[in-house]
Every structure is written in C-alpha cells, then in structure tokens.
Amino acid sequence: MYQIISKEKLSENLFKFIVKAPRIAKAHRPGNFVIARAVEDGARVPLSVIAADKKQETLTLVVQAVGVSTAKIVALNSGEEIKDIVGPLGKPTPVQQYGTVVCVGSGIGIASLLPIISALKSENNHVIAVLMERENEPIILEQEIKAITDEVILSSNHGKDGEKAQIIASLDQIFRQQTVNKVFTIGDPLMMQYVCDLTKEHSIPTNVALNAIMVDGMGMCGACRITIDGRTKFVCMDGPDFDGHQVDFPELINRLNSYSEEEKVAYAHYLKETKASDATTTDKVNEVAIDEADRIAVTLTEDDLSRDAEWRKELLAKFKPKERMAMPRVAMPLLDPVYRARQMNEEVSCGFTKEQAIQEAQRCLDCPNPGCVQGCPVHVNIPRFIKLIEKGEFIKAALSIKEISSLPAVCGRVCPQEK
C-alpha cells in the first residue's frame, strides 16, 4: 500500500498526488512511468511521474479522471493509500547536450515534460517550451515550467484555424528565428503527429513519449503494441520514448479509440453509482484495507528464507531429481475461447487450484546455483518462492516475491517471461 502525502487539483478532473514510494523513487529516471491500481477490484492504469524525491522517498504523480479506474484514484485523499504501484517502468528518456531544444506539450502531457525539461537543463541545453491549450484541457504547471526553461510560448487551438495551424505557426516562428537541434513532444497523439510532420520537413530529430492502452507494463498483454519504422514495438518495454518520425500515428490513434465507447458507458455508470451511494463506496475501500492488513499479518522468518532450513531439506528429499524431471507439467486451466471472446472482465487464465500449484512446484529441482535467478532481470529468488508453494505456504511465497518485485500484485504473474 502506498500512502498519499498530498493531493492538489490542477484543473477539472486533473490532480497531482505526492505518494510515499521509497524503492520506486530511488530507481526512477526522467521518462519512466508507473502502473497503479486504486483498490483491489480496480484496473491497472499507467501514470506519468513528474518528480521523484529520493530523500523524501516520494513520487509526484499526475492523474486525470477519464474513466472508472482513474476516477477511483482521484477519489482518494491525503492520508489514504493506493493499493498497488509498480515501477519504474519503460526506458528513461535519452538526454544529453543537444544545444537548442524545443519541448511541445498539451494536456496531461505537459506534466510529463516537466522532468524531461529539468534533465535537459541539467545538461546545459537552451530549452524553449511550447504549451498547447486544447478544448477542455487548459495549460497546467505553467509557473513550474517557466521557472526552469529559457522561454515559454503559450498557444491555443481556440482560434478559427484550429490546432494544426496553431502548432505550425508557433513552431515555424521558432525555426525561423534560430537553429533548433532537437524537439521533444508529449500529449494528444494528433498534436504529436502534427509536430512530427513539421519537424520532419525541417529535418529536426524529434522524440515522442507515447501513451497507449496498457495492462501489465511488462510486455505480456500486448495491448500497447505499436508500429515503429514498420516493426512492432511495445510502449511499455521499448518506450515510451520513440523517434517521432518513425511512429505509425494513424494506427496508434485507432488503437487508443478501440474501447472509447465502452469506457464512456462504464464511466457514466460508475459516476451514477457513486453519486447514489458515496458511503457504500467508502465502505468497500475500507474493507479492502482491512483485508490487506489481515494478509500482511503473516511474516517471513529466517527459517523461511534459508536454503539450509530443515523444511527445505525434507522437501528436497521427497523426490529424486530424475523423478522431479519426469513429472508432467501441470497445464494451466483456461477459459473456453468461445466464452472469453464475449467477456471483457475475466482473466483468460483461471489459475491453479491449491493441489495443482503444489503438484507443479514439485517439479523444481531447487538447484544450488539456479539459472532461473541468474536470468531474472530483478533477481527474484525463484526456487525459494516455488518451495514455499510446494510447502503450501502461499502467503509467504507471495511475500518472498514482494521483497524484490511488486509485479505479482499488479499483473497476477510472477514473471513477464512466465509461460
């Protein structure tokens, strides 16, 4: 659970949260993002990180209520807790001394530009920020950006010529006055496409930070796949930063709109329910917090952690290595394809029963020098986790993973490479 230290309203439906997250704050770099889940039954939402304070062990997040999941997050207040946050995810934004850099942002994308601008200034770049005001999306964090940039240009699409003309006018003026060595743009995908089309004409290298439909943030779900220079990439693993001149924007926009109607209906239904019974919603959140407290009452002991513990030796002695290797793999129960093609609210994988999980865990050889740990990017002690499963200590197995990674709490799997 991640405690909310403060909450500030930036504009209608747009909020800034400062959240306690020591490990993520320590590892975060400009351009990284996180995935959060408000409550137990909430969906996972990718969020922009606009600041990471290593000393205070906090993250500053910006959340816009555009659907049910984000609405559940913005409904939380200072002192309350966000159920899960996993990160830092994605690759950091490549920052170096370019010379003169133009940063173009709109909507919530302006918030994502803030840490990038700060990093660019630390490399002694001359930074010009172009902030776009769009319909129902006012300019945010204007004073914070003015404080760290060399020049700020405000633009609006309220004029008769529309957004594309405003972008061209703003950038053309800059390009005529001076040599621009690099452009960064974050915001509405159509706005980014306009920027990239123009910078391509002027042969100015341009980076975009893409926002895509995302579930786990580890490359498993495939929801965030996009086409870059004719090849399939994943925003969560390969991005979110890409060469803007190589992005297939029509495909990106089409994918972002895939579930827009369903989301609007679900959001409207959620708002209606919330207004009808605010007290009920609060009770549900409190129940989740109580359930979580009951679960974490179980703690790992030194005996649980040691490979030389008697319980682990006893498990190892139950089967010879050849016997374990001969055990058939337990097939993961899956939803019927015909049923799952018509349902959007259930996992394809049904998960193991207790007996199936223990049976599958018995296949582990508990190697003294496990290659699975060496090959794990976050060095999870996989044999210890599996042996705790074999012992039937499921909560302790989960805690042994949580010491290193929050992934299971977010996506329900131990490893993005899990099959």
pTM above 0.75, yes or no: no
Domains of the chain, by residue range, sit at 2-89, 100-259, 302-414
Residue type, 238: D
Question: Which overall architecture, per CATH, does domain 2-89 show?
Answer: Beta Barrel (2.40)
CATH number of 100-259: 3.40.50.80
* Helices and strands: H and E segment counts in the chain: 19, 15
Cα–Cα distance measured from residue 280 to residue 228, given in angstroms and rounded to the nearest whole number: 46
Instruction: Report how far residue 49's alpha carbon sits from residue 55's, in angstroms, rounded to the nearest whole number.
Output: 16
φ and ψ at 95, to 5 degrees?
Answer: -125, 130
Confidence of residue 409 (pLDDT cuts 50, 70, 90): low
Q: What confidence tens digit (pLDDT) does each residue in 217-273 have?
A: 777 778 888 999 999 899 988 989 999 999 999 999 888 887 777 777 777 777 777
φ/ψ region of 336 (left if φ > 0, alpha if ψ in -120 to 50, else beta) reads beta
State mean pLDDT over 279-300: 50
Backbone angles phi, psi at 96, to 5 degrees: -155, -175
Pairing of strands 33-37, 14-20: unpaired
Mean pLDDT on 26-36: 90
What is the band of 363 on the pLDDT scale with cuts at 50, 70, 90? very high
Name the DSSP letter for residue 153.
E
Which is nearest to 209 in space by CA: 233, 247, 239, 238? 239
**Average confidence score pLDDT of the chain:** 83
